[in-house]
Amino acid sequence: MRSHDQLPVAGKVVLLRADLNVPMDGTTITDDGRIRASLPTITKIAERGGRVLIVAHLGRPSGASYSERAAGGPSLAPVAARLSELLGQPVPLATDVAGESAAALAAGLADGDVAMVENVRFEPAETSKDDAVRAGLAARLATLADVYVGDGFGALHRKHASVYDVPALLPHAAGDLVAAEVAVLERLTQDPARPYVVVLGGAKPSDKLGVITSLLERADRILIGGGMSYTFLKAKGYEVGKSLLEADKIDEVTKVMAAAAERGVDLVLPVDLVGAASFAPDAEHEVYPVTDFPADREGVDMGPATRELFAARLADAATVFWNGPVGVFEFPAFSAGTRAVAEAIAALPGLTVVGGGDSAAAVRTLGVPESDFSHISTGGGASLEYLEGASLPGLAALADEQEPAA
């Protein structure tokens, strides 16, 4: 996979696919981590005289047409404004994705300029499963630029027009962020230092059963917390009350636990939970052992005994991969479990990887220094699929170094 450093960019319009899909509260960015992670590649290309035109998505716009999606938003305007602040230079935003406004903006760029087109998912073709439909959008995007750089790691597992189809139409290379992410994931999959401990949280086991099955071949311990742990606890016969539950996954979860036991992988579940009367930041709550959880309570965090248990199982780890918070960390009263996991991992001297998404947001929200971890990924879903052994369409497209026909 060629690096963008090997791609001639001076005086050329560089179509840069970035992952700027930041969490928003209305029009306010609540965590700009993905924007900051994209800065090195943007800056390097601009300093080499490239004319940077950024393509990115934000959220999941709804509607059958461009006009419906654009009317409903979200617009990338707040992202362009924040990127302008971080770069210390204007970052104009086209009013469309690959239309007249984008074409005029691209044509007017000077060496070192940085600009953006609107939310690429305003175009229904971006996510179409029809190859011909995606190809039409890809062709329009390709006419805006001379070369392509893929740096949106968090979108590489998507077979989308701006991720998968455009690289085949332009000279292309990978950005620094993609290169760094792949290098770390290779370390996790190719003879990791041991003990290798994986911590998985988040809402649902269905999101992670595939990666758990794959990790049973490599990990020494798998610690399971958060919403997904309740289905595991239910599979063991425990009451989980009103906690998040995927009842239709109990059989699969039972098989995963049996496979872990057969392979000698230590699969660790919570031993106590914080049970709340309702899902609210000020809800009345108590700590209950998993053997005596009330039917009228909802699990919102792991209890103090589980925090100690997880810390002990992490203490000697030489390699750690963590994906998914283990409680409702957004509510301060229920953030202790996620904080305990973050601090236990941050204290380790080995390779410590935070697997993107909500886990990365939790680290920043809880004030645990990012520098205490070896790597904080920008793409949770892409990381999980890579670890599961799946082929990432966007990565395959970047790895193909054959130049488009003239």
Residues that are catalytic: 34, 204, 357, 381
Would you tell me how many other CB atoms lie within 10 Å of the CB of residue 281?
Answer: 12
Q: Which two tokens stand for residue 289?
A: 């052992």
